Structure 1
Amino acid sequence: MIYAEIVATGGCVPERVVPNDFFNYLVDDADTWIASRTGIRERRFASPKESTSDLATAAARSALARANMEPGELDCIIVGTSTPDMYLPATACMVQKNIGAKNAVAFDMNAVCSGFIFGVETADNFIRSGKYRRVMVIGADTYSKILDFDDKGTCPLFGDGASAVILGATEEKRGILQSMIFSDGGGWELIQVPSSGSRCPVTAETIAAHDNTFKMSGKQVFVFATDVIPRIIEQVTTRAGVSVGDLDYIIPHQANVRIIDFISKKTGLGKERFLLNLDRYGNTAAASVGLALDENLRNGTLKPGQLVLIMGFGGGLSWGGALIRL
Structure 2
Amino acid sequence: MIHSQIIGSGGYSPEQVISNDYFEPLVENADEWIFSRTGIRERRFAREDQATSDLATIAARNALESAGISADEIDCIVLGTSTPDMSLPATACIVQNNIGAKNAFVFDINAVCSSFVFAMETADNFIRSGKYKTVMAIGADTYSRILDFQDKNTCTLFGDGAGAAILRASDTPDRGILSTYMRSDGSGWELIQVPSSGSRKPINAETIANRENTFKMAGKQVYVFATSVIPEIITELCRRAGVEPSDLTHIIPHQANIRMIDFIAKKFDYPKERFLLNLDRCGNTSSASVALVLAENMNNGTIKPGDLVLTMAFGGGLSWGGLLIRF
With normalisation by structure 2, the TM-score equals: 0.99
Please list the CA deviations of residues 287-325 of structure 1 after superposition, one character each: whole Å capped at 9, or x if unmatched. Answer: 010100111112211100000000010000000010000
Does residue 24 of structure 1 match 2:24?
yes
Structure 1 letter corresponding to 2:20: N
Residue 39 of structure 1: aligned partner: 39
In structure 2, the residue matched to 1:93 is 93
Counterpart of 1:55, as a letter, is: L
Q: Deviations over 1:124-172 (max 9, x none)?
A: 0000010110000000000000000000000000000000000000000
Q: Distance in 1 between matches of 2:191 and 2:265?
A: 25
Q: Matches of residues 1-326 of structure 1 in structure 2 within 5 Å?
A: 1-173=1-173, 174-326=175-327
Count residues with an aligned counterpart.
326
Report the residue type matching 1:223 in the other structure. V
Q: 1:86 deviation in Å?
A: 0.1
**Amino acid paired to 1:37:** R
Moved more, 63-72 or 85-94: 63-72
CA distance in 1, matches of 2:262, 2:27: 25
TM-score by length of 1: 0.99
- The CA RMSD over aligned residues, in Å, is 0.6
Q: Specify the code of the residue in structure 1 equivalent to 2:205.
A: A
**Aligned counterparts of 2:158 and 2:301: Cα–Cα separation in 1:** 27
Deviation at 1:82, TM superposition (A): 0.0
Deviation for aligned residue 1:7: 0.5
Shift of 1:274: 1.2
Paired with 2:125 and 2:203, the residues of 1 have a C-alpha distance of 37
- Taking the aligned partners of 1:175 and 1:157, their CA distance within structure 2 comes to 32
State the Cα deviation string for residues 74-94 of structure 1 (Å, max 9, x = none).
000000000000000000000
Rounded to whole Å, the distance in 2 between the matches of 1:67 and 1:6 is: 9
- Where does structure 1 lack aligned partners over 5 or more consecutive residues? none
Give the Å deviation of 1:35.
0.3
Which runs of structure 1 show a deviation greater than 6 angstroms over 4 or more consecutive aligned residues? none
What letter is aligned with 1:9?
Answer: S
Q: CA deviation at 1:269?
A: 1.3
